[in-house]
Homo-oligomer: A and B are copies of this chain.
Amino acid sequence: MRLVVTGTIGIDTVHTPRASREGVSGGSAAYFAASASQLCPVGVVAAVGDDWPTEHSEALRSFPGLCLDGLESRQGSRTFSWGGRYFEDVNRRETLFTEVGVLQESPPRVPESFKSAEFIFLGNTHPAVQLGFLDQFPHRKLVVADTMDLWIRTAHGDLSSLLKRVDGVIVNDSEAAELTGLRSAVSSAQRIMEHGPSFVVVKKGEHGALLTHREGRAVLPAFPVEEAGVVDPTGAGDSFAGGFMGFLARENRRDFNALQTAMAYGTVLASFTLESFGLDRLRALKPGEIDSRLRQFQAAVRVS
Contacts and interface: CB of A to CB of B under 8 A. Distances in A.
Interface string A196-239: 00000000101110100000111111101111101000000000
A224 B207 contact: no
Interface residues of A, number: 40
The A interface, classified by DSSP as helix, strand, loop or mixed, is: mixed
A220 B182 contact: no
Contacts of A210: 221, 224
Interface string A163-190: 0000000000000000000111111001
Interface in A283-300: 294, 297-300
A18 interface: no
A135 interface: no
A300 B219 CA distance: 6
A224 B220 contact: no
Tell me how many chains of this kind the complex includes.
Answer: 2
Contacts of A219: 221-222, 224, 300-301
Contacts of A226: 184, 186-187, 190
A300 B215 CA distance: 11
Given A208-B208, A220-B221, A221-B221, A227 B184 contact: yes
A57 interface: no
A112 interface: no
Contacts of A206: 184
Nearest to A211: B300
The 6 closest A-B pairs by CB, nearest first: A187-B227, A184-B227, A207-B207, A264-B303, A298-B303, A219-B221
Interface of A: 88-89, 182-187, 190, 204, 206-208, 210, 216-222, 224-228, 230, 257, 260-261, 264, 294, 297-304
14 contacts: A182-B227, A183-B227, A184-B206, A184-B230, A185-B224, A186-B224, A187-B226, A208-B208, A208-B221, A210-B224, A220-B301, A221-B221, A260-B303, A261-B304
